[in-house]
Structure 1
Amino acid sequence: MKILVAVKRVVDANVKVRLKADGSDVDVGAAKMSMNPFDENAVEAAVRLKEAGQASEIVAVSVGPAGAQDTLRHALAMGADRAILIDSGDVAIDALSSAKLLRQVAEREQPQLILLGKQAIDEDAAVVGPMLAALLNRPQAVAASQITVESADTLTVVREIEGGQQTVRVPLPAVVTADLRLNEPRYVKLPNLMQARKKPIETLTPEALGVTLSAHHRLLGVNEPPARAAGQRVNSVEELINRLRADTRVLP
């Protein structure tokens, strides 16, 4: 079984992002960039399937600028066999364009399973996976917290939903998006990173894939969330109840 894993380069989850002075966008010029955490879970899932003898090849693919090569090398260091960069240059890529580009790569590679993160932490849209499945006309399972290969043509996916868990059986080929609960990504050792730097990365362009990039939405502005009001200390439960009744009317 060949697995295609889509990974995205985002601002590191531990970095506090700053806005541009004019409020037009987020300033990522000097920010530390890393692999999207949800995508890291997807790579880990693919590597574990290969280690279990249930996958033959893992191909990592990323859509973004040349700097996304570092993200792909991280995937290679984790255990991916090949890497493909769809170089979008300085053009901002939205979710639909990403899905269209990934579809072209998927049609060329013909993987039995496509894995990607449930969402990217920069936009939190959680739509690329479902869009890709729709474009490919393949079954999908989103927000997977457990993936089990039942047979050569069937997966069982466990999803956490409101109030419990849902288990679905998915025929292959399929698209599955990973939740953070799926696994704990492995720590990448320095020797593996050094070896990954020596591996070639195939670079494609949207034009070569026959995709014309077009903006499907326009960013009007970005602003900081409102500051949270300071907390207030009370001396007793009775005072707390009185304040909740008088100030917030939470209690009757």
Structure 2
Amino acid sequence: MSLRIVVCVKYVPDATGDRHFTDELTVDRDDVDGLLSELDEYAVEQALQIADEADDAEITVLTVGPEDAKDALRKALSMGADKAVHVEDDDLHGTDVMGTSLVLAKAIEKTGYDLVIAGMASTDGTAGVVPALLAERLGVPQVTLLSEVSVEDGVVRGRRDGDAATELLEASLPAVVSVTDQSGEARYPSFKGIMAAKKKPVESLDLDDLDIEAEEVGLEGAWTKVDQAAERPARTAGTIVTDEGAGGKELAAFLAERKYV
């Protein structure tokens, strides 16, 4: 029986771009270029490595987002994933981690799965809680923040590296795992992979397809909201200290005044 792997990926604003909020204090995605979250590339890579070791495996990449989020799916497909699922609905605007985990769980159940893989966090929200929420909604074990992961005989095993210790963890499938940026560098899509990705299936779903009411997601259903935001002040010119014998003291006083020491 084929090992069904679902990789959750996110289309995020380019961190190098000039990002802003809308009047509703949600991220203005029309004002900045987007791309596949870098941390999710590691999840795709681990799925590909697991599939390479399996006798038979199929990788589905799943995202929740606007029309442009298909770019993230195409990147994952060009890396080697087999097919994609895109959940798009205008009522999803402003959805937080609680709503996102609900939508992902419903889509994963509809798609079918044995193993769900996610990155450790998204590069825009950086909450890092969606894998745990997803496991809870699906009612399956979670093995998170892995720097090494493998699957054999219906069991997923992994290594979690902490500041003080390393843990070796395992769980029976089906399960949810998340991987860190130490799990292995993601491969670059080849020209052949890019061309092949154009022919791979991308299924589109909306809230009706998932039996989710609009008030359960979006700004209306969000458990968390941005209360206020202000643009970062423009960078000012630095202070130049001419060392005439007391430079060390002036530097120490500068750091002490700002409570750096």
In 1, Cα distance between equivalents of 2:13 and 2:53 = 32
Amino acid at match of 1:101: V
Aligned to 1:121: 123
Q: What displacement does 1:48 show? A: 1.1
Q: 1:234 to 1:192 in 2, by over 3 A?
A: same
In 1, Cα distance between equivalents of 2:242 and 2:164 = 34
Aligned to 1:10: 12
Q: 1:248 to 1:34 in 2, by over 3 A?
A: same
In 2, Cα distance between equivalents of 1:55 and 1:32 = 37
Amino acid at match of 1:12: D
In 2, Cα distance between equivalents of 1:208 and 1:59 = 18
Is residue 56 from structure 1 mapped to residue 64 from structure 2 by the alignment? Answer: no
Q: What displacement does 1:66 show? A: 1.5
The SS at the match of 2:225 is: coil
Output the TM-score relative to the length of structure 2: 0.84
Q: What displacement does 1:74 show? A: 1.1
- The 5-angstrom pairing of residues 18-33 of structure 1 reads 18-20=19-21, 24-33=25-34
In 2, Cα distance between equivalents of 1:247 and 1:201 = 55
Q: 1:165 to 1:238 in 2, by over 3 A?
A: farther
Is residue 196 from structure 1 mapped to residue 197 from structure 2 by the alignment? Answer: yes
User: 1:26 touches 1:222 (CA, 8 Å); kept in 2?
Assistant: no
Aligned to 2:187: 186
Output the TM-score relative to the length of structure 1: 0.86
User: 1:117 touches 1:177 (CA, 8 Å); kept in 2?
Assistant: yes
Is residue 240 from structure 1 mapped to residue 242 from structure 2 by the alignment? Answer: no
CA-to-partner distance for each residue in 1:91-123, whole Å, 9 max, x for gaps?
A: 222111111111112222331110011111111
Residue-pair matches, total: 250
Aligned to 1:148: 150
User: 2:20 touches 2:31 (CA, 8 Å); kept in 1?
Assistant: no
Aligned to 1:134: 136
Q: What displacement does 1:81 show? A: 0.8
Is residue 223 from structure 1 mapped to residue 230 from structure 2 by the alignment? Answer: yes
* Alignment equivalent of 1:100, drawn from 90, 102, 111: 102
Aligned to 2:177: 176
Identical amino acids, percent of aligned pairs: 29
Q: 1:111 to 1:24 in 2, by over 3 A?
A: closer
Give RMSD over aligned pairs.
Answer: 2.8
